[in-house]
Amino acid sequence: MPPIEDHDYLKICAELASYLSISLSSARKKVELAAMKSGRKDLATKKEIARELLSEASSKSKKGEMTTTSQLDELLKALSEEENFMVED
């Protein structure tokens, strides 16, 4: 994934990363995956999706739904394509 040098997009992703307690690259990846699911990959769509995810995260944080425990539980959930992955034989 080549770096996107749009400062607005990076700022939104950084705020999202802060709310979700994840790294900037993880926040960008989350936005990229949501954009791929929508079928559009242009920068304007990514900004829009990042803003939606940010507003959702901030509203959950203000309501008190996003505690450290619930965030950790959410991050530890296996994705459907990864749930049968074996680490050891």
Kindly state whether residue 77 falls inside one of the protein's structural domains.
Answer: no
What is the extent of the structural domain holding 34?
Answer: 7-72
- Assigned domain for 79 exists: no
Q: What is the share, in percent, of the chain residues with pLDDT greater than 90?
A: 31
Q: Would you place residue 51 in the very low, low, confident or very high pLDDT band (cuts 50, 70, 90)?
A: very high
Single pTM value for the model: 0.66
In a domain, 15, yes or no: yes
Residue 85 lies in a domain: no
Task: Please spell the DSSP secondary structure of 5-49, one letter per residue.
Answer: --HHHHHHHHHHHHHHT--HHHHHHHHHHHHHHHT--SHHHHHHH
Residue 87 lies in a domain: no
Query: Residue 62 has what pLDDT?
Result: 74
Do the domain assignments include residue 22?
A: yes
Domain count, the chain: 1
Asked if residue 2 is part of any domain, the answer here is no
